[in-house]
Amino acid sequence: MSERMGFFTDTSVCIGCKACEVACKEWNQIPDDGFVFNATSYDNTGALGASTWRHVAFIETFTGDGEGGWLMASDVCKHCTHAACLDVCPTGALFRTEFDTVVVQADICNGCGYCVPACPYGVIDRRERDGRAWKCTMCYDRLRGGLEPACAKACPTDSIQFGPLDELRERAERRVETLHAAGREDARLYGADPGDGVGGDGAFFLLMDEPEVYGLPPDPVVTTRDLPSMWRWAAGAAAAMLATAALSFTRRGGR
């Protein structure tokens, strides 16, 4: 396998231009989302979904003294180290590439939808038109051609950075230190810790507030972590039932 590649999204320099959304849709030929603005935001895509693989959120914030502002962040599939979507896919439509990213093969997906609730981030979605699951591929076709993903290429402020994951993590840590030194104590990394509940994300973020403010789970956990123990308990229960049934038949036969 090649060196693991990933995204580092620095929300502190995101200007909300949505160039990443447009580039993603154009390159991957993704349908539009209706061009209808939400009532509380300058946002016509709303959230990640089958037809939105990069989503720029506009989050209005208010402080106790009445002051407010905007937080802007470009969200994307996290390409988890421990990806539950891979665990539950019955057809092999989801696979891990040589770049250690997670991709859905649309021509193999049978539309069962098991991957949708399995994702701890709520990223994967099925398209109403055909029922198949879709999400960010980190532009797998571009990576194989030696190109960076379309969203990173289009970002005018380098809010979205692409490269070897280890290098991105080091760069992100230095960026947090710089922001802290400048008095931005709220700056923090999200998804960069290999010891978290999903083994770290292949797409991680620098946030300027708590994860919940951005609609992200504070402590994501791979949803299939308990499957081995559940299967052991199920096997034990089945064995106990068979033993009870066998004992019952044995007793009847001895009468």
User: Binding site: which residues?
Assistant: 14, 17, 20, 24, 77, 80, 85, 89, 109, 112, 115, 119, 136, 139, 151, 155
CA distances from 42 to 22, 71, 94, 231 (A): 15, 12, 33, 47
Contact present, 203 and 9 (Cβ < 8 Å) = yes
Measure the CA–CA gap between 45 and 204, rounded to whole angstroms.
21
Measure the CA–CA gap between 125 and 118, rounded to whole angstroms.
11
- First vs last C-alpha separation in the chain: 65
Alpha helix stretches (DSSP H) within the chain: 19-28, 84-88, 115-118, 140-144, 150-154, 165-181, 227-253
Measure the CA–CA gap between 154 and 65, rounded to whole angstroms.
37
What are the tokens at 149? 């993903």
Measure the CA–CA gap between 14 and 74, rounded to whole angstroms.
8
Instruction: Write the burial class of residue 82 (CB in 10 Å: 0-12 exposed, 13-18 middle, 19+ buried).
Output: middle
Contact present, 176 and 206 (Cβ < 8 Å) = yes
Which residues participate in the annotated binding site for [4Fe-4S] cluster? 14, 17, 20, 24, 77, 80, 85, 89, 109, 112, 115, 119, 136, 139, 151, 155
Measure the CA–CA gap between 9 and 106, rounded to whole angstroms.
26
